[in-house]
Amino acid sequence: MKDYLVIAYYYIASLEDPHKHVSLHQKFVKNKDIKGRVYISSEGLNGQLSAHVKDADAYFEWLSENYPNISFKIDPSSEHAFCKMTIKFREQLVAFDKKVNLQKRGQHISPEKWDEMLSNMDEDTVLIDVRNDYESEVGHFEKAELPKCNTFREFPKYTEELKKRKNPEKTKVMMYCTGGIRCEYYSAYLIEEGFKDIYQLDGGVINYGHKMGSKHWKGQLFVFDDRLVVPISSEDPETISHCSFCQKKTSTYYNCANMDCNELFLACPDCVKEHKGCCEEKCLSGRIRQFDDTLHPKPFRKLPFEEKQALQRKTQN
């Protein structure tokens, strides 16, 4: 039974007192069955959460009253997708390290129109996956460029290389990310870099999957919550990624059991067990966590303070 909703949203607007919005948010979610993270800056909000259905509607209503025209991407779940609630101020709503003019962004394209544009791409069009490389490895749109960027901060360097290959004045740019917010920033950056004709998928891959299924999509979708990898629609997804050891097809990510590494890596059940949950040989020595051999492991996170204290009391008794 799916009693929870996994929720993603963002709101781009100038907030004069973002710390006030942090306090309002903290006050509203107190004593509600909502977990996740909400980042608030002078440029707006960025939220990824899970909520019990009994509290979700009230949360949607409160957000809509305080942040006009906000939209949500929603998926049902049988459990929370996050382990705790975090609401905090951040200087950067998205970690890009570049100040951009968010008043000048790419044109939002509906999933229906996006599907049509994908079917009619020409040599003057470039389709860019605006996500980290470990995200695109498990799933991406057909014909997309998959920049070798491990973080969003690396996209300006990719842009330098793109400008050497493509004429900013003549190139049509289509871009997408998970929920849409990274495209808001990257489209603004490309405009400042001289690109004129820019289109971004409205609501990101999540919205496309809800509306169009996986017609032009290959693989699955990486998400930044306890699920890690999910299908984008109700259709059975194909697996396009491979075990980093034996190259068998797999879409299961693990955090390296070496606590000084903790990197995400893809592995099949046999190989990850053989390597004791570590991503490479050198990680087998040092501070090693006990390996979790479940088929769908959750990402490793430090326990919330209250749970850590409770566990310590239980151990002492």
Total domains present in the chain: 3
pLDDT at 62: 98
124-177 residue pLDDT tens: 999 999 999 999 999 999 999 999 999 999 999 999 999 999 999 999 999 999
Distance between CA 62 and CA 316 in Å, rounded? 43
Do 316 and 248 lie in one domain? The reply is yes
Distance between CA 157 and CA 128 in Å, rounded? 14
Q: Are 244 and 163 in contact (CB under 8 A)?
A: no
pTM for the model stands at 0.91
309 CB neighbour count, 10 Å cutoff: 11
Q: Are 41 and 93 in contact (CB under 8 A)?
A: yes
CA angle 198, 202, 204 (to 5 degrees): 105
Which of 57, 89, 121 lies at the terminal end of a domain, its last residue?
Answer: 89
pLDDT at 312: 47
pLDDT at 315: 43
Q: Are 183 and 204 in contact (CB under 8 A)?
A: yes
Do 286 and 197 lie in one domain? The reply is no
Do 51 and 132 lie in one domain? The reply is no
**Which of these is catalytic: 83, 149, 177, 279?**
177
1-34 residue pLDDT tens: 789 999 999 999 999 999 999 999 999 999 999 9
Per-residue buried b or exposed e for 163-199, using 16+ beta carbons within 10 Å of the residue's own CB: eeebebeebbbbbbbbbbbbbbbbbbbbbeeebebbb
Do 8 and 41 lie in one domain? The reply is yes
Do 202 and 118 lie in one domain? The reply is yes
pLDDT at 295: 64
pLDDT at 291: 84
pLDDT < 50 stretches in the chain: 303-312, 314-316
Do 112 and 166 lie in one domain? The reply is yes
Distance between CA 26 and CA 226 in Å, rounded? 22
Q: Tell whether 220 is covered by a domain.
A: no
Distance between CA 142 and CA 136 in Å, rounded? 11
CATH code for position 35: 3.30.70.100
Token code pair at residue 165? 């290959």
Residue 299 belongs to domain spanning = 242-317
Active site residue 177: yes
